[in-house]
Amino acid sequence: MINIYSDKKTLASEFTDFFIEMSHRYIPFYVALSGGSTPKLFFKELAQKVNEVKWENVHFFWGDERCVAPTDNDSNYKMTLDNLGENIIKKASIYRIKGEDNPEVEKINYAKIIKNTLPTFNNLPQFDLIILGMGDDGHTASIFPHEIEFLQSENICELATHPLTKQKRITLTGKIINNAKNVAFLVSGVNKAPKLEEIFNNKPTALQYPAYFIKPIGRLVWFTDKNAASKITD
Ligand code: 6PG
């Protein structure tokens, strides 16, 4: 299912309402958050409606994290803290990927936390909601085209390498993402249009894009703006 909004602020506002509704439906509510510019807008919108969420039920995980300190401007955790607000972060249950720790060790430790905290389905940990962005190259979470095998990894988490910056990142794997009850892509901007057109029209080139293989057992909803969806509607 794809929702196309006039602009990215409206997208973020509508997704906020979707999130709030989900937070009342799932108790407890296990969510994996995402980095990226569109998720950032969502956090800003959610910060305006914080009283509509029962934060004691909310368990925040991250779908991926850069291997940096939580004070680093590259940190997805810091981006959430800065835009959603520290007071909210303190009210919810927070399971931060420790980007400052040894990546090979944290990849294993974070997987253990997920396994020990979440309910299982198909013998795999199951999130109620996983929020994703999509990179211009068709990556999602930190599963990049050059490491597309992470979609099929038997591990809960993998240690990824950004193809350009070579920055190390810890990411959920495809099997965990596709085991979720709900997956929401938040994608805005004209630079996403070519990849969305290839994905939604099942073009052979889409087979290079990890985002193309996100087909959860539960519900998949794309939240896009007109610019990102401009080639789909042509
Ligand atoms: C990250 C995200 C990444 C992001 C995409 C889209 O850590 O950066 O997990 O997958 O969502 O790169 O980012 P934009 O929405 O900013 O293009």
88-104 pLDDT, tens digit each: 877 899 999 999 999 99
**Per-residue confidence (pLDDT) for residue 158, from 0 to 100:** 98
Nearest CA to ligand 1 atom 1: 35
99 lines ligand 1 (CB under 6 A): no
Checking phi first, is residue 156 left (phi over 0); if not, alpha (psi -120 to 50) or beta?
Answer: alpha
Atom 17 of ligand 1, residue of closest alpha carbon: 135
Is residue 86 pLDDT above 90, yes or no? no
Return the closest-CA partner of residue 185 out of 228, 121, 230: 228
| SS3 annotation, 116-142 | HHCCEECCEECCCEEEECCCCCCCECC
pLDDT of residue 214: 98
- Mean pLDDT over 73-99 rounds to 93
Question: Which residue CA neighbors atom 12 of ligand 1 most closely?
Answer: 135
Tell me the CA–centroid distance for residue 202 and ligand 1, in Å.
22
Residue 140 Cβ < 6 Å to ligand 1: yes
DSSP of 73-130? TT-HHHHHHHHH-HHHHHHSEE----TTS-HHHHHHHHHHHHHHHS-EETTEE--SEE
Question: The pTM is what?
Answer: 0.97
In sequence order, the β-bridge partners of residue 3 are 223
Distance of alpha carbon 224 from its chain centroid, rounded? 14
211 CA distance to ligand 1 centroid (A)?
Answer: 11
Q: How far apart are CA 183 and CA 89, in angstroms?
A: 22
Contact 131, 39 (CB under 8 A): yes
Under 8 Å between Cβ of 94 and 87: no
Binning pLDDT at 50, 70 and 90, where does residue 233 land? low
Mean pLDDT of all residues in 5-9: 97
